Amino acid sequence: MESIRVISRQIKTEALRLGFADCGFSRAEALPKDAERLKRWLQQGNHARMGYMANHFEKRTDPTLLVDGAQSVISLLYNYYTDKRQSDPEAPVLSKYAHGKDYHFVLKQKMNLLFDFIKKQNPEAEGRIFVDSAPVLDRAWARRAGLGWIGKNSNLISRSAGSFVFIGEIILNMELEYTPIPESDFCGNCTRCIEACPTEAILDNRTLDAEKCISYQTIENKGDISQELSGKLANRVFGCDICQDVCPWNRNALQHLEPDFQPAPGLMEMSAEQWVDLEREKYTQLFKQSPVKRAGFDKLKGTLAFIQK
């Protein structure tokens, strides 16, 4: 078998060829410090009504319980940044990640190609691909792989790609060349993300109070949006990019090159009035394979009504 270093370089080279912004490797093992952080966050109730965050706690913090014989975690970043803006400045705002096709489909397809490449080079390779499809601490693994650090807004920040990146993992039964030293923290004294958040959702320990987070309220919260947030959602209808938009590390973010992330025809040109009058048939047409389907039509209409108050 070829050397671990050669195999690792081959995998990273292929990942970059497939369009990933970065690729790194870390040893598959339990994460006691991250487990303690997660436990504290859950105990403080900062996960709001996302009860699933407490499920499978041991698996969430130890990948060896997810994949038999796991030795390595391959972390992958995929850029989704775009400077495209909706034509009507009064229109309800969609998060950048929701302009085009659901990233789960896009990343899984590319990660399957990478996994096929690994198996072709190393027939003994076995493993699993994860894109939000199981309890995996994406940001923790990306940090351990040297791909960035956890910013004050709780997002992973890459020096080369910023924070507008999706994260995926391949947990593998092969030993690879691991990053000896994680990336340093380059947030410094900057607090722009904390100051910019209109609902004060960002906590001082690099975590979020989900109950106050616009992304949670407009996507994950299947109930009514808290009246305490009335007038504070900054016209966001699905997701929120405010804390990322103000981050200095995104000043030089590059446009994504993914055709599947292009908006559906007419989406970016919708007026505020067209959004308010949105009917189910048009919703289905616009968001057929979109992340927006996670919220559903009724939730989207409820959010539209809430931000129009």
Do 32 and 166 fall into the same domain? yes
In a shared domain, residues 28 and 163: yes
Q: Which of the four pLDDT bands, split at 50, 70 and 90, describes residue 211?
A: very high
For residue 90, being part of any structural domain is answered with no
Residue 237, pLDDT score: 98
Domain presence at residue 187: no
Of 119, 139, 172, the domain-final residue: 172
pLDDT digits (tens, 9 = 90+) for 24-71: 999 999 999 999 999 999 999 999 888 888 888 999 999 999 999 999
The residue-averaged pLDDT of 82-107 equals 97
- Work out the pLDDT band at 280, boundaries 50, 70, 90: very high
Distance of CA 107 to the CA centre of its chain: 11
- Same domain for 196 and 139: no
Indicate whether 178 belongs to any domain.
no
Domain final position from 172, 206, 232:
172
Mean pLDDT of the chain: 96
Share of the chain above pLDDT 90, in %: 92
* Predicted local distance difference test score (pLDDT) of residue 227: 92
Residues 23 and 148 in one domain: yes
Summarize pLDDT for 57-67 with one digit per residue, the tens. Answer: 999 999 999 99
Domain contains 10 = yes
Q: Which domain holds residue 114?
A: 4-82+98-172
150 and 34 in a common domain:
yes
Same domain, 55 and 123: yes
Tell whether 156 and 198 lie within a shared domain: no
Query: Are 105 and 163 part of one and the same domain?
Result: yes
Which of 116, 132, 277, 298 is catalytic? The answer is: 132
| CB-based contact 187:250 (threshold 8 Å) | no
Say whether both 75 and 130 belong to one domain: yes
Q: Which residue has the tokens 């775009």?
A: 82
pTM: 0.96
Same domain as 167, residue 75: yes
Residue 79 reports pLDDT greater than 60: yes
> How far is residue 29's CA from residue 164's CA, in Å, rounded to a whole number?
27
Q: What is the number of domains present in the chain?
A: 2
177 within some domain: no
Residue 150 resides in a domain: yes
**Domain check: are 130 and 53 in the same one?**
yes
Report if residue 226 sits inside a domain: yes
Any catalytic annotation for residue 34? no
Shared-domain flag, residues 106 and 204 = no
